[in-house]
Chain A
Amino acid sequence: MRWFLVLLFGIASSLAHGEAHGEARGDPLPCAACHADAAMALAHTPHGGDMACVSCHQNAEAHAASPRNVGDMLTFGPGTGQRADDACIGCHQRETHPVSAHRRAGLGCHDCHRVHGEVTPPAPLPGHERMDAASASCQTCHQDVFSRFAMNERHRLTRGGVGCTDCHDPHGPSTRRFLGGGTDTCLTCHADLAGPFVFEHAAGRVEGCLACHDPHAGPNRHMLTHQREGELCYSCHAVMPGFHFGFAATGPPRFGLDTVCTNCHSTIHGSNLDKDFLR
């Protein structure tokens, strides 16, 4: 790892570029005469400097000639959807995805991003004060999901332990439940559980972590889809060795829905030693 880092920073230092790129295009229209606040706010962002207002607000000539006439100028308001996105995509090719859950919902770049400087995110819900700013901006539309973070057991989003974008790509398609062999989203934090292992828990390897876990929150401490662990395990494991039922021919089985199966199967996510996850 060290040699690779040395190599990386060697490349970095050789590429360090001292001068600003891109010629100042200047603003062909006197926008700042009326929109001084917007122009000032823009100056302290990456869009300041050599970006002209008409780079984004296309077809502004009529408006400049007659301020009451917005005409066909691109305003990034509701309903400007694809046309507004096209204006952003010209430069931000990398940040957009053709298939996106947000675009499917009719949202454009400007529904989440503000280019004219800082935006005060909506006031956090009670108990959500430590949430990161990106997550706070998701709250407006996804109140149903955020409500779940008030459940007893949850990813610590509201205390700043994780953020929405740690797991979700807001520009990409919705996170798929059925990703065979895909535990990538969870791997960064839970590498010890993601494997690879010699003996894999097939449910996790094939269907991913969501086969057993609810990733936002739930009443189970391990955020299992069932509050009692035994209920979850018995949902799939219909056949088991005899001693699980005890050694009497009749009577109640030794193990039941209250059983904490992982007290014996303690490496349930996968093991390099035991196919039954006992070691």
Chain B
Amino acid sequence: MGRGALLLTSLLAPAWAGAMQWSGSADVTGRSVDTDGDRSKYRQHLNLDSGVHLQELVVRGHRDDRGRGLAPDRIDISAYGLGREPFQRMDVRVQAYDRYRFDYQRRTSEYRYDDLLIDPADASIPGSTGGDFHTFDVDRVFDRARLELTASDRATVTLGYDRHRRTGDGTTTISEQREEFVLDRPVDETLQVAELGFRYRWDAVTVTLTERYREYDNDAVVALPGFSAGSNPAAPGNLDRYRLERPWRYDGWEHGLRVQARPRLNDGRRAEIDLDAVRLDLDGRHRALESAAGTTFAAAPFSRDRAGSGRLDHETTLLRLRGRYPVSESLRLVGGLSRRELDQHGSLLWDGDENRSDWALTTRTYEAGVEVNLTPGVTGALGWIGERRDQRLRGEGAIGATFETSTRHDGYFAELAWRASKRLTLRLDAQDASIDDAFTRASATERSRWRAQAQYRIDDAWSVAASHRRSRHHNANSDWTWRDRQTTVRIDRAGPRLSLTLGTTRIDQDREFLAPVSNGLRTVIFEIDYDGDARLHDAAATWRLTEALSVGASIHGLRHRGSFAVSRDDVRTYLSFMAPSGYGASLSYRYLEFEEGGLEAFDARIVELSLRRSW
């Protein structure tokens, strides 16, 4: 699809090119990477390879007069990292003002994950503390295409198509015969969404109808990659053969209606009312086939084949009404209410056993408040938020029970912003909420957040910004408390020759909880007493030696202390030359040092040479 969009643009662009003025830049980069230490951790965090790639391509075309017919008024093409980068992006926008706009975006991402974080000497196989045996080596590809057609002065039609593919390899664990076995888990899933939208606009009202068709496929397979001796040599449990196929898919429609009214009042101000109604109806099917053979924990041979299938029915309905009414030039009333319903049914016939689960969730939210302009420079807001939620789960088979709970959540928000002058801005905001019965013992029954921010522009070059945030989450049922405090300070200098930025952040987190865990016969108190902090520092300077030549350096540091320590230092220097003719080059050196838990560490030296051409 990405190639198709580029091909289409390249075919059409010459025909339009004559009437357009083009500008842009291209940057081709060669890279050399040298690493020491844990290679898988390097892949997880940085994943940069040696070689040549297109670092950046930006092309912009526009015409001074307005085009007619299909001729665009503006074309924007940009691409980043094509070739070798783990995160690549390409955007194409073709725009004919008042007639159509076409957008295409492709993003590709490579994700690696391998996080065995336990010293083998401390690992306890029976205690499952041998680390996290899940690994991923997957690629994500997002394609998004959207065409907005202006059918008349008032009507607009939107067509959209999104596709997300995730493919690759991975491993997971299966518990079998009281042991954990590491198995292959290839990843292959696709989500596609097609959209048709119609919008009609009167002078003060816009109505939007949207139909979306959603289709999802997941070919989930877990398989033993060959003979496995099992994860615990001291135990007899073993697998000779294992394969589990559990593909699932769903498809369905989403119907959306939005009415947006912006009536002008007698005094010229506008009131605002939005009504949203969205219904999503998904039908799913799943099946499973499990085949296993080996030795049981009691040293007896076993062989097992099971099969099953089932259906999934997922419906959500959202109704939402929001409004805003300007009482005067300086006072506005705002409010909203919404109702969201989930109705979900799942069934499974597995090895002859029937299972069912039925979920019903209803969430109603309310919000009301005022926004004020106390003076031209001082604004404030104060309001109340509330939520009522009823949830019910009925199960048959494995889940042989019914759970029904209701929660109520009330709170307030307050904000104050003071633009004291063009140089100084201060902000304060607070949110506080209480929930009468949290669904989980780790969820908050009281939640508060306070934040203060200040920005001061000292002169045309120097500025300073600072913020402090404190949040507290507490569960009264389990006496569980989580506190989070963050302070950030940044100083910037933006000058024609010298640019500087210095920043520091400190995040402190602590959680206290005595968790009594019981198996019916005995109760053990797990003392969860987490006290961690992260300190982040960065500094960067760019010095423009001449019109064409500049040098720069940056350093980025992280020190984290918690359940285990993390440290990272990332240092970069560069020399850049840009000739008036539009040709340029830059040379950069980057050194990165990483260590986690005293167990996994790597360092990397990266040299890049970039050639740039702008026109």
Contacts and interface: CB of A to CB of B under 8 A. Distances in A.
> Is the pairing of A and B real?
yes
Interface of A: 1, 4-5, 8-9, 11-12, 15-22, 43-44, 46, 48-50, 78-79, 81-83, 86, 89-90, 93-94, 96-99, 103-106, 123, 125-127, 130, 132, 141, 143-144, 147-148, 150-152, 156, 159-161, 173, 176-182, 188-189, 191-192, 195-200, 202-203, 205-207, 211, 219, 221, 225-229, 231-232, 234-246, 249, 253-264, 266, 272-275, 278-279
A277 to B, nearest CB: 10
A260 B128 contact: yes
B243 interface: no
A234 to B, nearest CB: 5
Contacts of A4: 194, 213
A257 B564 CA distance: 13
Nearest to A198: B346
**Which residue among B87, B329, B480 has the maximum number of chain A CB atoms within 10 Å of its CB?**
B87
Interface string B96-139: 11111000000101000101001000001011111111100000
A161 B139 CA distance: 12
**Residue of A130, A219, A225, A244 contacting most chain B CB atoms (<10 Å):** A219
Given A127-B556, A200-B359, A279-B246, A181 B443 contact: no
B312 A196 contact: yes
A176 B313 CA distance: 25
B288 interface: yes
A11 B369 CA distance: 44
Contacts of A179: 340, 363
Contacts of B199: 94
Interface string B433-444: 001000111110
B499 A5 contact: no
Closest CB pairs A-B (n = 9): A106-B379, A79-B376, A181-B342, A198-B346, A98-B324, A235-B442, A180-B363, A126-B554, A98-B272
Given A98-B273, A242-B519, A11 B196 contact: yes
A198 B310 contact: yes
A19 B273 contact: no
B322 A98 contact: yes
Interface in B1-55: 45
Contacts of B130: 260, 263
A46 to B, nearest CB: 5
A1 B215 contact: yes
Contact of A15 (B151, B334, B518): B151
Interface stretch (B232-240, B521-529, B579-587, B601-609): B521-529
B570 interface: yes
Contacts of B430: none
Contacts of B191: 188, 191
B70 A18 contact: yes
B335 A240 contact: no
Interface string B562-590: 11101010101000000000000000000
B348 A198 contact: yes
B488 A18 contact: no
A180 B391 contact: yes
A38 B64 CA distance: 14
B551 interface: no
A79 B375 CA distance: 8
B517 A105 contact: no
Contact of B159 (A8, A191, A240): A8
B560 A273 contact: no
B399 interface: yes
Given A126-B501, A141-B453, A257-B526, A235 B513 contact: yes
Nearest to B306: A273
25 contacts: A12-B159, A15-B151, A16-B100, A20-B96, A82-B329, A82-B373, A86-B270, A89-B262, A96-B272, A104-B415, A125-B501, A127-B570, A152-B566, A180-B391, A196-B250, A196-B284, A198-B312, A198-B347, A202-B403, A206-B391, A234-B515, A234-B526, A243-B178, A254-B126, A264-B180
A161 B107 contact: yes
Contacts of B355: 198-199, 275
A1 B253 CA distance: 11
Which residue of A17, A180, A244 has the most chain B CB atoms within 10 A of its CB atom?
A180
B165 to A, nearest CB: 11
B175 interface: yes
A253 B342 CA distance: 39
Interface residues of B, number: 199
B613 interface: no
A94 B260 contact: yes
Contacts of A159: 86-87
Nearest to B515: A234
B469 interface: yes
Contacts of B97: 20, 46, 48-49
A232 B563 CA distance: 12
B62 A44 contact: yes
Contacts of B480: 235
Contacts of B66: 20, 48-49
A59 to B, nearest CB: 11
Given A8-B161, A221-B113, A196 B415 contact: no
B501 A225 contact: no
A123 B124 CA distance: 49
A228 B513 CA distance: 14
A240 B260 CA distance: 51
Nearest to B46: A159
A100 to B, nearest CB: 9
B446 interface: no
Given A189-B140, A202-B439, A278-B174, A273 B288 contact: yes
Nearest to A229: B132
A78 B127 contact: no
Contacts of A232: 442
Given A4-B213, A151-B534, A198-B310, A104 B381 contact: yes
B427 interface: yes
B186 interface: no
B539 interface: yes
Contacts of A275: 355, 395, 398-399
Given A106-B415, A226-B530, A211 B312 contact: no
Contacts of A11: 157, 159, 196
Contacts of A17: 99-100, 149-152
